Structure 1
């Protein structure tokens, strides 16, 4: 059993690069800053692109949740880890630690990235599949490589096409309506984004493309689905930086203490 090895970037190792490229599955982990739910999402499909030894991105497809995007948008946050495991051949676990950012589909940078054919390592750009809502970019701070000797062996059969077929049909439906956001969410991609991707389960703002169309009801539903009570303090934060929130809380506590002290002095006077 060998010890875990750490690096500041992905090692310049052709065998390792080809191994990353050959993986059919990887996992993405993020979490809110204070309490809340730690999220781990499995990712399939040919959606990954290694830019260089310090950066990698993947095409984010529509999902029933929105945790990764919400966590990366949280002011002062952006922590993210991508994990690869060897399910065939010699055991290996590769972790890419770093800070992520979201590039939504209506952002000009999204088109710039997906229209680049090749990058470093001759890595092809993933095809923009139906239902793609964003690119998730990771700036790599640290890399770890361990053996993963307990990871089971599996044989890959095929990618599932359920999401692709549903997304194709939903996008086609959207194109036939002037305001697809009014359609039932299971028939419309944009309506689905609105109902399921506006907020995280902890009440953090999510997919900005539809956020202005969401209201308190969506936040309440997202939180009640996991047994949480609606928390207006979280929902109302939206884009408020953490240091501003701390400042407001500090000022409020200061005013409260000052008022209490004044009352006490009056009583004793």
Structure 2
């Protein structure tokens, strides 16, 4: 049975820390709904109603575009190993770029990862757990290193160019803040 809470408990914080993947859902009033899988060591719980995540360079930048138009966001974690559980965090998000002071106040919470693009701060309004009984059991093998290797090969300046060329507009032609 699904249960709704007003904050992230210590038990759920521990669950989040043990997950290797999470999913981000956003949407503007018009255009496409975006659901993105995220990995690596890029998510932090700061308190019972606040989380941040380090958004890395990608082929698109739909999340940033959506958040500038509509700051609603859902984060979903699924237990693929161990006890079944689905956890959703519903809230309002603010996106910070390297030019923003808040970005610099959060960046040291994460390992240095070449290709860091934005930091998303989420004020969590509701927390929902559900059974996850139909989610398959899968064994974690290893992190993929392709994005990290690609970003390191590009270097800082080329990444900034890439962001301007490929990440400044969404697929619906919404601005991303880059």
Could you state the TM-score of these two structures normalised by the residue count of structure 2?
Answer: 0.96
Listed as ranges, the gaps of 5+ residues in structure 2 are: none
What's 1:267 paired with?
Answer: none
SS in 2 for 1:72: helix
What's 1:250 paired with?
Answer: none
Give the superposition deviation at 1:128: 2.8
Name which structure has the greater RCO, CA cutoff 8 Å, separation 6+. Answer: 2
What's 1:92 paired with?
Answer: 85
Give the superposition deviation at 1:47: 0.7
C-alpha contact 1:59 1:128 (8 A) present in aligned 2: no
What are the equivalent positions in structure 2 for 1:250-265 lying under 5 Å apart?
A: none
Separation in 2 of the partners of 1:167 and 1:106?
A: 20
Could you state the TM-score of these two structures normalised by the residue count of structure 1?
Answer: 0.64
Give the superposition deviation at 1:48: 0.7
What are the equivalent positions in structure 2 for 1:184-203 lying under 5 Å apart?
A: 188-203=158-173
What's 1:139 paired with?
Answer: 123
SS in 1 for 2:120: strand
What is the root-mean-square deviation of aligned Cα atoms in Å?
1.2
Give the superposition deviation at 1:189: 1.0
Say whether residues 1:17 and 2:13 are aligned partners: yes
Give the superposition deviation at 1:194: 1.4
Give the superposition deviation at 1:111: 1.3
Give the superposition deviation at 1:17: 2.0
Q: Name whichever structure is richer in strand by fraction.
A: 2
Poorly superposed stretches of 4+, deviation over 6 Å = none
Say whether residues 1:53 and 2:37 are aligned partners: no
How many positions carry a matched residue from both structures? 178
Q: Deviations over 1:174-210 (max 9, x none)?
A: 2xxxxxxxxxxxxx212211121111111111133xx
Q: Name whichever structure is richer in helix by fraction.
A: 1
Separation in 1 of the partners of 2:107 and 2:32?
A: 31
Q: Deviations over 1:8-50 (max 9, x none)?
A: 1113xx333211101000000000113x100000000011110
Question: Which of structures 1 and 2 has the bigger CA Rg?
Answer: 1
Match for residue 171 of structure 1 among 155, 165, 168: 155
C-alpha contact 1:66 1:207 (8 A) present in aligned 2: no
Listed as ranges, the gaps of 5+ residues in structure 1 are: 116-124, 175-187, 209-269
What's 1:82 paired with?
Answer: 75
Separation in 1 of the partners of 2:11 and 2:73?
A: 25
SS in 2 for 1:189: helix
Give the superposition deviation at 1:110: 1.1
